[in-house]
Amino acid sequence: MGAQKLPFSNASQACKTYLQNISKVSINLVKLSNEHEADVFVKLLSENAFKETIWIGANRSDAKQPFIWYMDGSTALFDYTDWSQGTQPGDCIGFSYTTQPISGTDKWTIVKTIDNKPCDMMRSFICEHEVPLCTNPPGGFNQTTMIIKPSIMAPRSIVQVQCAPGTLKDPITSNNRLSGFDVDLSLSENSYKCTGKRFNNSPNPEDPLKFQPQLFYSGYLLPTCSYVKCPLFPELLDNIENKPQVPVGSDSLIYDYGQNITLQCSRGYVSFQNPNSTLATMVCAHASTTFNLGLWDPENYQACIAVRCNETELDIIIPKNAKLVTARNRITEQVFGLHQVNQFYSYGNVISIRCNPGYLFNDRTTEKQVSCELAPGSNTIGEYRGYSGTVLPLPTECQEATCLYEQAVIQSDYNMEPYFIVMKSNIDVMNLTKHSGVPYPRGTVIRYFCKDGYESIHQNSELNITCARIEKVPVSLTGRIYTEPKEAESAAKLSSIMFIMVFIFLGLILLLDLATIGRDFKQIRKNIKLQRRRLKHSGNKSKVG
C-alpha cells in the first residue's frame, strides 16, 4: 500500500493501466465524496499502519476553477473536514489523517486533513475500482418503504435496514427466526452482511468483475413499514381565513406524508416560516409516537403568528422613571403579565406604561397606553400607536409628583381661619394668607387653624394635610387630604345625654324582668290547679271501684 510515490498525473495513469490486460473495470485514484467514505478509508489506512499523505482523485485546471473528481467530473466538496478551500497554491488534492488525545480522557480522536499542493510533488497513492455489489436483500425487504444504511451493500460491509422517511415501523413484529443458506446467526435483527468469493480456477481470477457477492441476513423477518398519515382538524386552526372544509359527518381531513396545504393568514398575522408573507404552509412532515400518525410542521397548528412590533422602538418610547406593567390583547382580551413580557409586542396588544411610584406624566396621570398595529399600507410590518387618548411620542420622563394648590384653598364653609402655615422642610416654614399659585412638592405639610368654637375630627384646633405618595391618597391623584371641621358640642350636654340613655337602658331591663316574673307566677298557679283536679279525679275513681 502506497509503496510507490509519483506525481499526481503519473499516479492516476498508473491506476488506469494497472489491470488493462486483465479486466475492463475502471481503476482510479481514491474518491472520498462524503464523511462515511473518508471514515472507512481512514480505518483501512490505520489497519495497515499507513499515515503518509496520499493523492486522491480530485484536482483543478487552475486556481480560478473549482476542484472536481477527475473520474466523473463532479464537484469535489470536502465539507466533512476543515480545509483552506483551495486558497493554498497547488491544484491537486492530498489526504492524510492524524490521531490526537482527547483532553481529560484516555481516548483518542481522528483528525482528517485535506490540502491542495502542486501536482508535481511526489506522493503515495492508492487505487480503487468498483466490484459487483450485493443485491436483492431477503427477509421481506420493501424498497418503497425501507432504506439501507449505508446505502451501498459492498463486500465486507454490514448494513442496517430502516423505515424510509414518511413511514413508520409496525409495532407488531415476529420473533420467529428462520434458517437457511443465507442466514447468519451472528447478525442482529434488521441487518445484512455482504460477502463474496473469487473463482480461482477461472481465467483471470483477479478480475474484479468476476467476484461473486453473497448477501446474508439475520433470519428474522423485517417488520412492516407503513406510510405516515396526518389528520387535520380545521377547527383547531386559528387566525386563518381559508380553513379547509371537511366532508359531511367528519371532523377531519387526512393527508399523506410530504403533502402540504397553503393557508391565508388573517389580518395582523403572518407565516410562521416567513414573517414577510401572509401565506402560510403546513406540511405533513413528522412521525408521532402513535403508529401510522404524523405531525404537522409547524407543530400545534401554529401556521400563522401575530405580526411583531419592534422591541427596541418600545424601549425608546418608555420615559425615564417609568416602566412596562402589563399588556392586553384588544381582540382576544387575553392579558399578559410581566413574566410574559415577550408577548407584549404582538399585533393587537395594548401595552400599559406606568410612572414609578411618586412620579407623574406632565398631564398629571400615572399611566399611558400604546398599541401594536399594522403600519399603513402593510400587512406584515407592525408599528406602535397611541391608545385611549395617548399621544405619541411620550414625554422623555415622568416628573416627581406634586400637589395642586387649588385643592388646598380654604373655602368659606370650612370654618377655618384665613391664614395657614406651609412647611416644605424643617427650615422652610412660611406663614401665608394666600397660596403662591404653584404646585407643592411631595412632603409639603400645610397647617390650618379652626375658628373659635370649632375643632377638627382629632378634637384639636389645628388640621395638617400632607402632600403624600399617590398610592396612600385614594381620594385624589394629587395627594390632597381634606377633613371638614365640625362645631364642638358642650361637655355638660354630652354628659346629660349619656346619663339619660343609661337610665332608659336600665329601666327597660327592669321592666323585662318584672314581666318575666309575672308570667312565670301565673304558670305556677295554673300548674297547681291542674294538679289538684287530677288528684280529685283519681279519688273519685277509687270510690266507684
Cell, residue 173: 413484529
Domain 228-306 has CATH 2.10.70: yes
CB 125 within 8 A of CB 6: yes
* Domain ranges for the chain: 5-129, 146-226, 228-306, 311-400, 402-487
Return the sign of the alpha-carbon dihedral for residues 486, 487, 491, 494: negative
Write down the pLDDT at residue 318: 96
Residue 57 burial (CB < 10 Å; 0-12/13-18/19+)?
A: buried
Q: Does 208 sit behind a cis peptide bond, omega within 30 degrees of 0 on the bond before it? A: no
Residue 172 exposure: Cα atoms within 13 Å on the Cβ side: 2
Q: What is the three-state SS of 505-533?
A: HHHHHHHHHHHHHHHHHHHHHHHHHHHHH
**Residue 530 and residue 535: Cα distance in Å, rounded?**
9
pLDDT of residue 313: 95
pLDDT, averaged in runs of 10, over the chain (545 residues) = 82 93 91 90 90 94 93 92 88 94 88 93 93 92 93 91 88 84 94 89 82 94 90 93 92 92 96 96 80 83 95 95 96 93 95 94 94 96 96 94 84 86 81 84 88 85 82 34 45 64 72 61 59 52 42
Q: What count of other Cβ atoms lies within 10 Å of the Cβ of residue 368?
A: 26
CA distances, 245 to each of 146, 260, 303, 305, 511 (Å): 34, 15, 17, 22, 86
Residue type at position 522: K
Residue type, 422: V
R_g of the chain computed on alpha carbons: 49
Q: 5-129 architecture in CATH?
A: Roll (3.10)
pLDDT for 413: 84
Q: Is 9 in a helix, a strand, or coil?
A: helix
Per-residue pLDDT at 415: 86
Q: What pLDDT score was predicted for residue 291?
A: 63
